[in-house]
């Protein structure tokens, strides 16, 4: 069968049978389009694509100066494609079954936001809100919304995609319960406990209630559409620069800061795993490597050396 047709059927399978989320589908589509453009793939019969051709493709990917993580994802897409073909009995055996591919990623520690920069950022936006002259203007409503988003990011450690995709019925401001749809369609509930965070969310709802009610999304933009991940990232960058915060800030850094600060306060890593929505504890354990503050505190106050006197 023609490879082009099989690839189309695979994407259809991913979208309508496996019900993968739009982000994953988009990544799969990009990866498949790149594979189609390699060499003479499109003129081949699917049974002619063997491990030698796939090895050539791996070498080709390395010439593109891609990060190891990107190469691993592209190969995972192809592996899923050939597994699908094998399951559908279009091919006898996936060529990946006869391959041992090991791509090592450089482990980078999560970047967190300095606590003084978090204080500086929030102090700035709340000062603007306090000094705002005309609260009937949309710019004031937008500011209240942005404060609610920033408070939620810092208070819950949600991914920016999870914040953007909150729906009107997902959040209960009376109980503080927030239903979150995470990666892989996994649902979890996180509790909003801080009074200030609840207050910011309630104020936002009071200003946007009619628009939110008409729209399925909780956080919306001026046109009543979903407040996108891109817009949230740009919003953070705008306030970072306006507040003269020298550290470059991203939405995901709020998530890293949330996890690290809880760890520094002695919270069990398994609780943090649940709040972050990690399926594996190994993903959460990376935060233990940057928990220097707690380590310093323990060694300076608990180590027995402090009670030993050797000098005469």
Residues 270 and 268: their CA atoms lie apart, in Å, by 5
The residues near 261 (Cβ < 8 Å, ≥ 6 apart) are 115
Residue 99 is inside which H or E element, if any?
none
Residues 191 and 197: their CA atoms lie apart, in Å, by 11
Could you give the 3-state DSSP secondary structure of residue 191?
Answer: strand
Number of H helices, E strands in the chain: 13, 3
Secondary structure in 3-state letters for 48-90: HCCHHHHHHHHHHHHHCCCCHHHHHHHHHHHHHHHHHHHHCCC
The residues near 231 (Cβ < 8 Å, ≥ 6 apart) are 221
Q: What is the CA radius of gyration of the chain?
A: 25
Active site residues: 159, 183, 252, 255, 278, 287
Q: Which of 235, 85, 57 is nearest to 146 (CA)?
A: 235
The residues near 99 (Cβ < 8 Å, ≥ 6 apart) are 51, 54, 55
Token pair for 76: 């995972």
177-181 β-sheet, strand order: 171-172, 177-181, 187-191
Residues 217 and 171: their CA atoms lie apart, in Å, by 11
Residues 114 and 298: their CA atoms lie apart, in Å, by 21
């Amino acid at each position: 069968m023609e490879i082009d047709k099989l690839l189309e059927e695979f994407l259809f399978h991913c979208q309508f049978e496996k019900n993968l989320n739009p982000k994953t589908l988009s990544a799969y589509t990009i990866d498949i389009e790149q594979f189609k453009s390699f060499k003479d793939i499109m003129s081949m019969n699917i049974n002619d694509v063997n491990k030698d051709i796939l090895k050539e493709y791996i070498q080709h990917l390395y010439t593109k100066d891609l990060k190891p993580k990107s190469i691993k994802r592209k190969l995972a897409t192809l592996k899923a494609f050939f597994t699908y073909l094998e399951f559908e009995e279009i091919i006898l055996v996936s060529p990946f079954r006869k391959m041992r591919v090991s791509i090592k990623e450089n482990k980078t520690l999560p970047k967190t936001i300095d606590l003084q920069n978090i204080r500086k950022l929030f102090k700035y936006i709340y000062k603007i809100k306090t000094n705002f002259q005309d609260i009937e203007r949309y710019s004031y409503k937008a500011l209240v919304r942005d404060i609610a988003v920033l408070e939620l990011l810092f208070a819950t450690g949600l991914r920016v995609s999870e914040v953007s995709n909150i729906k009107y019925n997902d959040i209960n401001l009376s109980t503080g319960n927030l239903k979150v749809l995470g990666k892989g369609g996994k649902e979890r509930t996180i509790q909003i406990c801080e009074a200030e965070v609840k207050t910011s969310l309630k104020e936002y709802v009071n200003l946007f209630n009619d628009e939110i009610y008409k729209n399925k999304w909780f956080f919306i933009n001026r046109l009543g559409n979903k407040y996108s991940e891109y817009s949230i990232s740009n919003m953070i960058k705008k306030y970072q620069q306006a507040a003269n915060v020298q550290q470059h800030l991203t939405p995901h850094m709020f998530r890293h800061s949330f996890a690290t600060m809880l760890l520094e306060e002695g919270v069990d890593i398994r609780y943090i795993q649940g709040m972050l929505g990690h399926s594996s504890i190994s993903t959460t354990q990376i935060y233990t490597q940057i928990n220097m503050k707690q380590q310093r505190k323990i060694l300076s106050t608990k180590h027995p050396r402090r009670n030993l006197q050797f000098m005469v």
